[in-house]
Structure 1
Amino acid sequence: MTIVRRLLAGASVSTTIVAGLVATAPAAQASASSCTNYLAGKGYVVGTSVKKACRIGESGGGPSDWGMCVQLLVDIGVRASHAEEACNRA
């Protein structure tokens, strides 16, 4: 029985360590660079207009800034679903 108890104790310690690491991980930060990186990953050219839209989305002015971010991106040819996700990341 002592071997079983040692194995259970080792598993318990490992679980506690992993849980502690997850609990102390920093929260994801939204930013203009997250927005532009997402769009670049989707194959869009990240130029001045994209950067401007992402900065507006990042400004934190509420739904109107998010809507402006999306509209600016859609106006330059970004697919609506991609624009929405990008602005969520801004």
Structure 2
Amino acid sequence: MSRIAEWLKKAENLARGHSKQADQILDRAEKYAKERTGHKYDDQISKGTDAVQQRYGGGGGQQSGQQQPGQQPAGQETQEERERRMPPQG
């Protein structure tokens, strides 16, 4: 087995053991990818996200794009998220 295949298998096993956290990371990655592509490939990105979540048993039966209780609506980020994304100035 190649090193990449071993790494992917370890990542999958880790995601299976921590599916809630993996879902959160994947949701953030999905949002970022959609923003970076100007929402031109939203359907393909959502399908890819769903495929990854099915692979490790994540997603919680929730379709991509649906808001979870206590979550910000899509496209609205908090001040903390903006600060984290922006490099320090000065």
TM-score band by shorter chain is 0.3 to 0.5
| Structure with more of its chain in helix, by fraction | 1
TM-score, normalised relative to structure 2 = 0.32
TM-score (norm 1): 0.32
Larger radius of gyration: 1
Query: Highest relative contact order (Cα 8 Å, sep 6+), 1 or 2?
Result: 1
